[in-house]
A and B are shown apart, each in its own frame.
Chain A
Amino acid sequence: MSEPEYREVEAEERRHLLRSFGYWDIVVLGALMGAGLGFLYGHGHGSRVEAWRVFAGMAIGALCALVAGWVKVQGRARERFFTRWAAERQWHYEAAGRPFEDTPFLQSGDKRRASDFFSGFWPELGFVLYQHKRIVGSGRDEQVTNYLVLHFSLGRPLIDLLQISPRSRAAELEAKLFGRLSGLGERIELESAELDQHFRISGLRGQEDELRRLLTPSAIVRLLDFQRALPDGNARFEIVGTNVAFLVEKTLSPKRPQLIVELLELWRPIAVWLTEEAGPEAQPPATVGESRPS
Chain B
Amino acid sequence: MTPVDVVLALLVLVGLLVALSFNRLVRLRNKVNEAWQDVDVQLQRRHDLIPRLVEVVEGYAAHEKELFDELTRLRSEAEQASGAAAQSAPESELATALAGAVAVAEGYPSLRAAENFLSLQKEIATTEDEVAAARTIYNGNVRIYNTRIQTFPVSFYADLFGFEPAEFFQGA
B93 sits at the interface (CB 8 A): no
Q: Find A191's partner among B34, B129, B145 (CB 8 Å cutoff).
A: B34
A5 sits at the interface (CB 8 A): no
Cross-chain pair count, CB within 8 angstroms? 46
A277 sits at the interface (CB 8 A): no
| Contact present for A217 and B38 (CB under 8 Å) | yes
| Contact present for B144 and A217 (CB under 8 Å) | no
Q: Which residues of B contact A197 (CB under 8 A)?
A: 144
- Mark interface residues in B118-154 (1 if CB within 8 Å of A CB, else 0): 0000000000011011101100110011000000000
| Contact present for A194 and B133 (CB under 8 Å) | no
- For residue A96, give the distance in angstroms from its CB to the closest CB of chain B: 41
A216 sits at the interface (CB 8 A): yes
Distance A193 CA – B143 CA, assembled complex (angstroms)? 10
| Contact present for A192 and B141 (CB under 8 Å) | yes
The bracket for how many chain A residues form the interface is 10 to 19
| Contact present for A218 and B140 (CB under 8 Å) | no
B28 sits at the interface (CB 8 A): yes
- For residue A280, give the distance in angstroms from its CB to the closest CB of chain B: 14
Q: A192-B141, A193-B144, A193-B145 are in contact. Are A218 and B31 (CB under 8 A)?
A: no
Distance A224 CA – B137 CA, assembled complex (angstroms)? 10
| Contact present for A192 and B130 (CB under 8 Å) | no
Q: List 11 extra interface pairs beyond A192-B137, A224-B140, CB under 8 A.
A: A191-B31, A192-B35, A192-B141, A193-B31, A193-B140, A217-B42, A217-B134, A217-B137, A218-B132, A220-B137, A221-B133
Residues of B participating in the A interface, judged by any CB pair closer than 8 Å? 28, 31, 34-35, 37-38, 42, 129-130, 132-134, 136-137, 140-141, 144-145
Residues of A participating in the B interface, judged by any CB pair closer than 8 Å? 191-197, 216-218, 220-221, 224
